[in-house]
A and B are shown apart, each in its own frame.
Chain A
Amino acid sequence: MRFVYLLLSLTCTVALIWVLNTRWQVGTTKTPRIGYFLSPQKGFWQNAESVSANFNAEIKAEALNGKASVYIDGRLIPHVFAENDFDAYFVQGYLHARFRLWQMEFQTHVAAGRLSEIIGKEGLNTDRFFRRLGMVYGAEQALAASEMDSSMKNAVNAYAAGVNAYIRSLQPEQIPFEYKLLDYEPENWSPLKTYLFLMFMSFDLSGRDVNTDLQMTNAKNYFGWDNYKKLYPNVMDSLDPIIPKGTTFSPASFRPQTPSDAAIRFFGKNDSSVQQSAKNLLFNVPTPDAGNGSNNWAVAGSKTKSKAPILCNDPHLGLNLPSLWFEMQITTPTYNTYGASFPGSPAIVIGFNDSIAWGVTNAGRDVMDLYNIRFKDELKKEYLMNGNWILSEQRQEVIQVRDEANLSEVVPITQYGPVLYDNEFNTPDARGLTLAVKWTANFANAGMKAFYLLNRAKNYKDYVTAIKNWTCPGQNFVFASKSGDIAIRQQGSFVAKWKHQGDFIMPGTDSIYQWQRMIPMDENPTIKNPTRGFVSSANQKPTDSTYPYYLGSAHHFPLYRGIIINRKLTGSNNITPDDMMKMQTSNYNVFAEMARPVLLKYLDKDNLSPVEKKYIDLLETWNLKADPQEKGATVFSCIWDSLENAVWGDELAGSKLKLPVPDSYSLLERMLKGTADFMADNITTKDKVETIQDAVLTACRKACKELEVLEQTGKLEWAKRKDTYVQHLLKIPSLSRLHLPIGGGEDIINATKSNHGPGWRMVVHLTAETEAYCIYAGGQSGNPGSIYYDTFINSWVEGTYYKALFLKNEDAATGDQIKWKMNFIKN
């Protein structure tokens, strides 16, 4: 009997440990190993950082050349003082890992198509997509190019060594929280991962055409070229471009030739090209947010109170925790820079140094095109080009899937680039076509050198030299210097395209549809010290129609933020940094300013019920500001959305394929010109031809029904309607910050939408002693168990800033403002 008891109790013990040591499937996710996760000595409790934690440390590393000191201020901003470049980037890598390791690795796993290794088969579509897009291939090209450049090689290697030094120092129980939750472990960092991260940024900022080119092609096929042009016009009457209108450009050094058969093969309806039924349909293509953009501007001393230039920048990207941004200062004997860095990459990306300040906005130029490939057979080894069969390169991709067998597939690489969509992997929008991607990000892209050099730039000449290295994604680099210069340049490797080239899927069997040449960088739109005393960009079209190259579909260029920024700057003098902060956080809606009068003009108020009139009153008395408590902002937004739906919705619904909704300017500019009856007819009513007046009335009535529901649920105030949140990368609500009472929105300088917006804001006053103000929607620590995880979010919501502690030299690192110190010593 005794042995039976022994066996029984042993079995029970082992069984309980097994249960507590196993990940259990619950719904679509798996639980952590609960015993491990809850163990106070190994699990998540170890990540519960004391609110009075001490960040002093002494780090010994063999890789260092000398010693380095890191002074950490009360906001957990590190100020790095190193004796040389290698040590500076080693320390930066160490610090990024110390505070953001999980995020760095997770983001680069996603970029590399390795999400399935972490979350299992749920990640497969994303992984296949990114691998077929050539993200790894592109990163490898960039890495190979950087190996040729000793300063970049040094920087990226030092950074990786720093990250790995931190990873090696970790005891198993010290790994970040998310590793324990998902039950995996950090792996070594490598220079390739830095380039994978930058590929991800390239995708986020120039990758929309993986989807929009498909939908635009479908729209062209459905409506025909003439109606397509009217629905998605390339001319914007109210455009206020980056380079002021009337600026003269030198003639193009190259004129691309439109293929002679383009009228039929490109602009014609070519629906017949549907080739085969495809399997593994991707219904949600990972498409970058259409709102990815930014504001930046610089005002010259002639317009400021202090007579010193002021530079401002606020990039608009997804709002995530841990934040994309990490604030820090890096100082060596040769330079001293401060600003926002990317965990995953060396250098400061947006910031300033002792002499200059710089910032970026997205250029939005079309640098990604899809080519329709004809393979000889299922093997996809040979494809047709000018009547000959050409061999494709075969790239083997092996995706490791957690708890399942590996998935292995061959991705053919054509002379355009990798085959993204084919019969093995497709999306309904691509109609079974075999499409290869041509994308400048897949060229050897050593653009990080631009930031490396900007960190050290002293004047305009250095700035121009620095940014010439930048190829993809195209950016508007704004610049200001203490010597008084201001400038902006649209920088990147852009394609000299014939008009509309690449707006739709292109024939891939004929080399005449290939990109013919790149635009020489000297011909990129640039302006220095304009007479108006400021430069600015807000992702709008960079120039008017006199620029001698085709800029791409206007669909990629938001129009309205540029108008309000230029208007405000034109009207301002004696500007102070405080004015600039007020401007960056301005909630004034210039789109509504233009749209409200025509809306009301076309609205027959006599036909409205008293309840409907009440909402229209709210609209009429609205101050045009999208402030958190404004009800008028909600009314306007509901009515406008409803109007677009009333005008376009019926026509778009006629297509079996998903078509892009025309941009707001398309309808507004027609209303302003009095030509908005175009497609205003509701094609589902056969007895009547509706006018824009009818559409406005229908739209208002529908919107008022929606507004009533919103009012009943207490969501009539704009911030409640918009419901902004900053989301953890794993989309876990309790690790996110939800329901933030912040105003702003689309077409507004404070471009804060529901999960997207100006995550980093910076104002730099280039007086003798640089005065800078920064804020970002996050916190320095990536640890959800740290008090520094979301420290800045409340201030960010309120629209306040922190004055940056920009230490002139190490001797200045004294006093109350420095809380902790890390010493890095050569071992």
Chain B
Amino acid sequence: MKFLVVTFLTAYLGYAIGVYTQMPWWSFALSSALIALCVQQSKISTFVSGFLGIFLLWILLAFIRDVSNDHILSQRVVSILGIGSSSTLLILITGFLGGMVSGLAAITGYHLRSSAKAILSFNLE
């Protein structure tokens, strides 16, 4: 349950930071890291939920655009990038790259959390 909530939150905040701010394309890395900092999960779960949140978000956003566009632009772009002729592949690559950045950012958040804990417990002692 927690995993699903974190995944959803990653997607939701990643979307919001793109819509409501004029920050660069990678600004979701900040929200993904922040979520991992705040919510404790296993290392694996942290990475996977971070990855999936943006992977699914980007795939969904790209898919909606692509279908309503009748694949016109994605077909042109796969040819420019020289990656065959599949719009679906381009959507998957889009999602994968976003997911990787988010997953790594989440792991960074995870380690930030455990480091912060260590500092705090060290201070308490």
Contacts and interface: CB of A to CB of B under 8 A. Distances in A.
Interface of A: 2-3, 5-6, 8-10, 12-13, 16-17, 20-21, 34-36, 38-52, 172, 177, 181, 732-735, 784-787, 789
A802 to B, nearest CB: 21
Contacts of B111: 2, 5-6, 8-10
B73 A51 contact: no
Contacts of A733: 79
Given A13-B108, A41-B18, A45-B65, A35 B101 contact: yes
Interface in B105-119: 105, 107-108, 110-112, 114-115, 118
A490 B73 CA distance: 44
A41 B73 contact: no
A37 B2 CA distance: 32
Given A6-B115, A41-B18, A784-B76, A52 B68 contact: yes
B62 interface: yes
Given A13-B29, A17-B29, A41-B61, A172 B22 contact: yes
A73 B31 CA distance: 45
19 contacts: A2-B115, A2-B118, A6-B115, A10-B108, A12-B104, A20-B97, A36-B25, A39-B98, A41-B25, A45-B65, A45-B73, A46-B65, A51-B68, A735-B80, A784-B72, A785-B76, A786-B72, A787-B70, A787-B72
Interface of B: 15, 18-19, 22, 24-26, 29, 33, 57-58, 61-62, 65-66, 68-70, 72-77, 79-80, 90, 93-94, 97-98, 100-101, 104-105, 107-108, 110-112, 114-115, 118
A781 to B, nearest CB: 11
B73 to A, nearest CB: 3
Contact of A784 (B62, B68, B73): B73
Given A2-B114, A16-B104, A35-B26, A47 B73 contact: yes
A735 B72 CA distance: 10
Given A35-B25, A36-B24, A45-B61, 14 more contacts: A6-B108, A6-B115, A9-B111, A13-B33, A20-B97, A39-B58, A45-B66, A45-B94, A48-B72, A51-B70, A733-B79, A784-B72, A785-B76, A789-B72
Nearest to A171: B22
A46 B25 CA distance: 12
A17 B79 contact: no
A9 B104 contact: yes
B69 A50 contact: yes
Nearest to B26: A17
B72 A177 contact: no
B24 A40 contact: no
Given A9-B107, A734-B79, A43 B25 contact: yes
Contact of A732 (B25, B29, B65, B80): B80
Contacts of A43: 25
Contacts of B15: 41
A48 B73 contact: yes
Contacts of A17: 26, 29, 101
Contacts of A20: 26, 97, 101
Instruction: Determine the main DSSP class of B at the interface with A.
Output: helix
Nearest to A790: B72
A733 B79 CA distance: 8
A588 B63 CA distance: 49
Contacts of B112: 6
B46 to A, nearest CB: 10
Contacts of A10: 108, 111
A817 B37 CA distance: 57
A178 B4 CA distance: 38
A35 B25 CA distance: 7
A38 B62 CA distance: 9
Nearest to A51: B70
Contact of B62 (A3, A13, A45, A181): A45
A48 B74 contact: yes
Contacts of A47: 73
Most buried by A among B76, B100, B101, B104: B76
B79 A785 contact: no
Q: State the majority secondary structure of interface residues on A.
A: helix
B98 to A, nearest CB: 7
A786 B101 CA distance: 30
Among A10, A21, A733, A735: residue with most chain B CB under 10 A: A10
B28 to A, nearest CB: 9
A5 B76 CA distance: 41
Contacts of A181: 80
Contacts of A52: 68
A46 B101 CA distance: 20
Contact of A41 (B19, B76, B97, B104): B19
Contacts of B61: 40-41, 45
Nearest to B100: A16
A38 B70 contact: no
Residue of A21, A35, A41 with highest tally of chain B CB at under 10 A: A41
Contact of A734 (B22, B75, B98, B110): B75
A40 B105 contact: no
Given A41-B61, A49-B69, A13 B25 contact: no
A539 B110 CA distance: 74
| The 8 A-B residue pairs with the shortest CB-CB distance in the complex, in nearest-first order | A785-B73, A734-B79, A40-B61, A41-B18, A48-B69, A39-B25, A6-B111, A50-B68
B57 to A, nearest CB: 8
Nearest to A181: B80
Name which of A5, A36, A48, A51 has the most chain B CB atoms within 10 A of its CB: A48
Contacts of B107: 9, 12-13
A10 B111 CA distance: 9
B24 A21 contact: yes
Contacts of B68: 48, 50-52
Contact of A42 (B25, B29, B79, B97): B25
Contacts of B79: 733-734
A181 B76 CA distance: 12
Nearest to B79: A734
Contacts of A2: 111, 114-115, 118
Given A21-B24, A48-B66, A40 B58 contact: yes
A730 to B, nearest CB: 10
Nearest to B58: A40
A17 B18 CA distance: 16
Contacts of A36: 24-25
Contacts of B66: 45, 48
A430 B100 CA distance: 56
A44 B73 contact: yes
Given A9-B107, A35-B25, A16 B115 contact: no
A44 B77 contact: yes
A9 B72 CA distance: 38
B94 to A, nearest CB: 4
Contacts of B62: 40, 45
